[in-house]
Amino acid sequence: MNAAFNHILIAVDLTEDAHHVADKACALRSAFSSQLSCTHVIEPLSLAYGGDVPMDLSTIQDQLQETARIQLDEFAERLNIPVEQRHLVFGRPETEIHGLAEEINADLIVVGSHGRHGLALLLGSTANGVLQGSPCDVLAVRVGE
């Protein structure tokens, strides 16, 4: 069994935490000479609000996408991640991250984890969601402390 990580996928929420998660992913990339890809998932407003908002959300959605694209590019530039390995996708983060990991043949997903407990843990987090049913190993980096 190959103990190295050949292709690491870092999932970023584009907050300050992402830099801390990136540091760990980069350390692993150096250790294993891995490929590094990154993704940010945009949750469609229609998914979050359904039909509850009586207005056309497409303009706001376009602006969110544009802002996310710029931020993901800035993030990826700093990490020297090539353009074709930057993935801005739409949907539910857990589902999309799993799908992308399979598609690009990633063998490690790196996410941040706020180390929630109690009710917050029961309600779930993205890190827990990614861990459950992941097609490959998952590293949850503690953030927000």
Asked if 25 touches ligand AMP (CB under 6 A), the answer is no
Asked if 41 touches ligand AMP (CB under 6 A), the answer is yes
CB of 106 closer than 8 Å to CB of 134:
no
Helix 17-32 vs helix 58-78: angle between axes, to the nearest 10 degrees? 40
Asked if 21 touches ligand AMP (CB under 6 A), the answer is yes
Neighbour-count burial of 56, counting CB atoms closer than 10 A to its CB (0-12 exposed, 13-18 middle, 19+ buried): exposed
Q: How many residues would you count in the chain? A: 145
Closest-by-Cβ residue to ligand AMP is 112
Residues in the interface with ligand AMP (CB under 6 A) total 17
Asked if 38 touches ligand AMP (CB under 6 A), the answer is no
Min dist. Cβ of residue 39 to ligand AMP (A): 6
Min dist. Cβ of residue 127 to ligand AMP (A): 5
Asked if 13 touches ligand AMP (CB under 6 A), the answer is yes
CB of 38 closer than 8 Å to CB of 75:
yes
Contacts of 13 (CB under 8 A, 6+ apart): 40, 112, 126
Asked if 9 touches ligand AMP (CB under 6 A), the answer is no
Residues lying near ligand AMP in the complex (CB under 6 A): 11-13, 17, 21, 39-41, 93, 111-114, 125-127, 143
